[in-house]
Amino acid sequence: MTDPHQYVERFEQQLQDAQRKADAIQGAFREARAEVRSPDGAVVVAVASGGRIESLQLTPKAMDLGHTTLGRTIMDTIRRAQVEAARKIEESVRPLLGDGESMRYLREQVEQGIAVIDPGAPPAEPPTAERPANRPTNRDDDDFEGGTFLR
């Protein structure tokens, strides 16, 4: 291709194609949402792109859980929703990115998020609250025994 006009036209076309791809990828990130219910149905979480929590709902079943279990269930459900949103992004940009380096990087990020949620792992033990030492209720204060400290 020796014609400079053809070269410029081809380059402009490539730029327009790249801009359309970039716009589509941005749209996929912007529109990615996921709603996940905990396995016991006590918690429902909706997240947007980037893992931003849009809503957190506690069903009446949540009231049957202890505070420690409820906290773990909420965190686990949030993570699952974030991973689901990331998977949706991955699915929508795969046709645009193909299986190149960018797609591999995105897939690694999703897999790292999944690794954080290990359903086979035993639940972490809740921290034990240390009870404060009992203070004597009847303090024997000998400052006012009637004696003087000046002898």
Residue-range domain boundaries for the chain: 26-119
Q: What is the CATH number of domain 26-119?
A: 3.30.1310.10
Report the pLDDT value the prediction gives residue 116, as an integer from 0 to 100.
Answer: 56
pLDDT digits (tens, 9 = 90+) for 87-104: 888 888 788 777 778 778
Contact 41, 59 (CB under 8 A): yes
E strands, 1-151, are 34-37, 43-47, 53-58
Residues of the chain with pLDDT under 50: 119-120
Report the pLDDT value the prediction gives residue 115, as an integer from 0 to 100.
Answer: 53
Neighbours of 45 (CB within 10 A): 24
Report the pLDDT value the prediction gives residue 32, as an integer from 0 to 100.
Answer: 83
Q: Which of 35, 38, 34, 80 is nearest to 61 (CA)?
A: 38
Angle between helix axes 67-97 and 101-116 (nearest 10 degrees) is 170
